[in-house]
Amino acid sequence: MEIWPGKPYPLGATYDGTGVNFAIFSEVATAVELCLIDDEGAETRVPLTEVDAYVWHGYLPQVEPGQRYGFRVHGPYDPAAGHRCNPAKLLLDPYAQAFDGGTSGEQPLFSYNFDDPDSLNEDDSLGHNLLSVVVNPFFDWGHDRPPRHEYHDSVIYETHVKGLTMQHPDVPEDIRGTYAALGHPAIIKHLTGLGVTAVELLPVHQFIHERTLRDQGLSNYWGYNTIGFLAPHNDYAAHGTQGQQVTEFKTMVKNLHTAGIEVILDVVYNHTAEGNHLGPTLAFRGIDNANYYRLVDTDKSHYYDTTGTGNSLLMRSPHVLQLIMDSLRYWVTEMHVDGFRFDLAATLARQFHEVSKLSAFFDIIQQDPVISQVKLIAEPWDLGDGGYQVGNFPPLWTEWNGKYRDTVRDYWRGLPSTLGEFASRLSGSSDLYAHSGRRPIASINFVTAHDGFTLRDLVSYNEKHNEANGEGGQDGENHNRSWNCGVEGPTDDPEINALRLKQQKNFLATLLLSQGVPMIAHGDELGRTQLGNNNVYAQDNELSWVDWDLDDDESDLLDFTSRLIGLRKDHPVFRRRRFFAGDAEHGGQSELGDIVWYAPQGLIMDEGAWRSHFARSIMVFLNGEAIAAPDEMGRPVLDDHFLLLFNAHHESVDFTLPEGIDATSWTVVVDTTGAEHDGDWETGQTYPVPPQSVIVLTGKPQPDAA
C-alpha cells in the first residue's frame, strides 16, 4: 500500500479531500503500525516510519472517510516502570473524531491474564475493541450563529440525549434516543416553550460500558467513562456510526441554535475508561502510559486516583494538556458548541498534590483565544485532599454551587438557623465569589442535578432506594437533605400530594428568582420520578428516562415553571450583573436599598432576627430603581419593585407589607399554593401566607409627590 511521509500535525486522522494524514504521539514506542480494517474485519498493517518529536505519521492518498482503523504500538511492557506497550492490542486513536462498534469486555482487551495479574496476555484484541473512523470534515453550516446568551440572561437545562427523547410521543420511534431526536421540532418546542436558553448535555464524548455493569444487565447510562475526547458517542447516532454521527451531531447543534438555544457539553477530562491497573488496554495505556496517566510516584504500576474511577490524567504533561485543548477547540470551532461543564474540575488543577488556581490547565485556558470566550462551568470538587473548591476557581470560570443546593434544601425542609445563609445564597453568594472579582453569574444555582434525587423525589423520599443498581444499596449519597412530606414514596393521600406539589413549586420559585444562573434538571418541570433512586448512573431504562405522559399536577408544574422563567426573563431585577451593595453575610442589605430584608412583621431584620433559631419566614424587597449595572448600551436599568414572601414554617404566618417603599399597592404574580387573588395587596396591611409557600408581589414605583 502506497504511503507518503505526511505531517506530524494535526494529530489524528485528517481527510483533505484527496487522502488522509495519520499522526499519533508516543514517546515510549519503538515502532507504530497503522491498522486499516475493512468491512469484513480484515486488517492491513502499514508501518509508520516517519517520526518527528515523538509523533509517528504518514499520509495515505487512497484512504477516504468511513475508513476504520487503529494502531499497534511496539515498546516496553514493564508496569513497574510505568510502561504497558503491547502490540497484540489494537488501540484507539486518542484524536479519532468517530468510533464504530463497541467493546466486548473480554480477555483479549486486557494485557494480563485474569487469573494472573502479573502475567502478559498477547491475545489479539481486534474484534473486541471499538474502531476509530476517518470522518469527512465538510458540513454546510449555512448561517449558523452561536446564540451567545449572556450569563445573567441564561437558564440552563441539564439533560441527557437519550433520557429526554426516548419516550417522547411526537418524536419518530426510529430516531428516539439520538442526536436527531434532540434536534427534532417536538423537543425544541418543549425547550423554547419552557424558556430555557441552553441545554447542558450529559457526556456525549465517546464512552464505554464497563464489563461489570454489562454482566449485571446494566450499562453506563450517564456516560462518565470517556475514551474518545473528540468523538460524539456512537450509541446516540440514528443514521450510522462510520462518521454519520458527526454530521448528525452538527445538525442537532444547528437546529438548536436556530431556536436560540446554546449547547453546553458535560466533559470528562480528568480520567478515561481504562480504569485502574486491572483495566483494559484500549488506547492511552498502550500508547504511552507514563505520559498520559498520573502514576503513583513510589509504585508506577498503580495509578493516582482522585476521581474514584481508577485513574487520573497527568495534568502536568504537555501532551495531555495539548489533547485537552485540541479537543476543546475542536468542539467549539468544528462542532459549534457554546461551552463546557467540567466534571470533577478540581482534579484538572492538580499538577502535583494540592489543587492550584495557578495550574497549567487554568493558565492555558485563560490564554486561549477560543476557549476563553465560551461558557466554562466547573464542578468544583473531586475525591482528593482539599477536593471541595467551590468559590476558588479563577475569574474566567463559573461553578456549580453545591452550597446553594444544600442551603435551599435545608431551608425548605424546615431546618432551624438557616435564614442567614439562605439570604446569602438567594442574593448570589457574594461570600464565595466577590473576593476573586467575580459577579453573581459565577454561581450556577441548582437544587437538583443528574447526580441525586429528582425534584419530585426530593419531596417524596427520606431515604435512597437504589436496589436496582445491584450494589446492595451501598451506592449513592446517604445525606440527601430531603423530606418526604409524611409518607415514604408514592401515596394516594391528597393532602400529602398537594404538599409535595407545593414544595416542588417552592424550590423552583426560589431557584428561578435567585441571583446567579439557574440550572434545572430535565424532567423536574414535569414532576419526573426515579422512585427514590438517587444514582441512576447505570439505569438506561424507563426509571431514568423522561415520562411525557403528564397528569394534571405535572401539567400544572410545567405551566408554573414556564411562567417563572418568563417572569425572570421579563424583569432584570432577578438577574443583576453585580452583587448587592451590602455585607454578604446578610444578603447584601445596605443604605442603597437595592435589597431589604424584612421580618414577617414588616420590620427590617435586626441581628436578633437573623440569628433566631426558630425563624423560618422572611420577606425580601427587590428595588427595581436601584439596579447598579447599566444595560448593554450604557443606559440605567429600571424595573418594577418586587416583594418575595418566603414561609418555610409548617403553619400559616401573617406578613405585614412594609412601609417606606414607594409602591402603595402590590399584585400577586406567583403563589406556590395555586390560590387565585382577585384584588391588590396594600402597603401596611397584614396578609396570611400559608405554610410552606412562596408568594411574590410586584408593585410599580410611584413618582415623588413633588
Catalytic machinery residues: 343, 379
Distance between CA 657 and CA 487 in Å, rounded?
35
Query: Are residues 380 and 408 in contact, defined by beta-carbon separation less than 8 angstroms?
Result: no
Query: Are residues 8 and 58 in contact, defined by beta-carbon separation less than 8 angstroms?
Result: no
The kind and range of the H/E element at 273 are none
The kind and range of the H/E element at 228 are strand 226-232
What are residue 620's DSSP bridge partners? 597, 644
Distance between CA 549 and CA 557 in Å, rounded?
13
What are residue 206's DSSP bridge partners? 228
Query: Are residues 225 and 273 in contact, defined by beta-carbon separation less than 8 angstroms?
Result: yes
Using DSSP, state whether 241 is helix, strand or coil: coil
Distance between CA 603 and CA 434 in Å, rounded?
28
Region of 618 (left: φ > 0; alpha: ψ -120 to 50; beta: rest) is beta
Burial state string for 623-642 with b = 16 or more CB within 10 A and e = fewer than 16:
bbebbeeeeeeeeebebbbb
Query: Are residues 596 and 604 in contact, defined by beta-carbon separation less than 8 angstroms?
Result: yes
* Residue 660 CB neighbour total at 10 angstroms: 11
Q: Any residues with CB less than 8 A from the CB of 512 and at least 6 apart, and which? A: 155, 518, 561, 564, 565, 567, 568, 574
Query: Are residues 403 and 432 in contact, defined by beta-carbon separation less than 8 angstroms?
Result: yes
Look up residue 570 and give its amino acid.
Answer: D
Distance between CA 323 and CA 10 in Å, rounded?
11
CB burial of residue 276 (10 Å; 0-12, 13-18, 19+): exposed
| Phi, psi dihedral angles at 213 (to 5 degrees) | -70, -45
Using DSSP, state whether 199 is helix, strand or coil: strand
Instruction: Tell me the CA distances in angstroms from 479 to 192, 454, 696, one per residue in order.
Output: 35, 14, 31
Instruction: Tell me the CA distances in angstroms from 246 to 99, 266, 338, one per residue in order.
Output: 10, 17, 17
Distance between CA 352 and CA 360 in Å, rounded?
11
Q: Any residues with CB less than 8 A from the CB of 593 and at least 6 apart, and which? A: 623, 626
Nearest to 212 by CA among 103, 128, 130: 103
Distance between CA 663 and CA 629 in Å, rounded?
23
Q: Any residues with CB less than 8 A from the CB of 354 and at least 6 apart, and which? A: 385, 386
- What is the three-state SS of 376-415? EEECCCCCCCCCCCCCCCCCCCEEECHHHHHHHHHHHCCC
Look up residue 270 and give its amino acid.
Answer: N
Residue 12, C-alpha cell as written in the block: 489524528
Distance between CA 657 and CA 462 in Å, rounded?
36
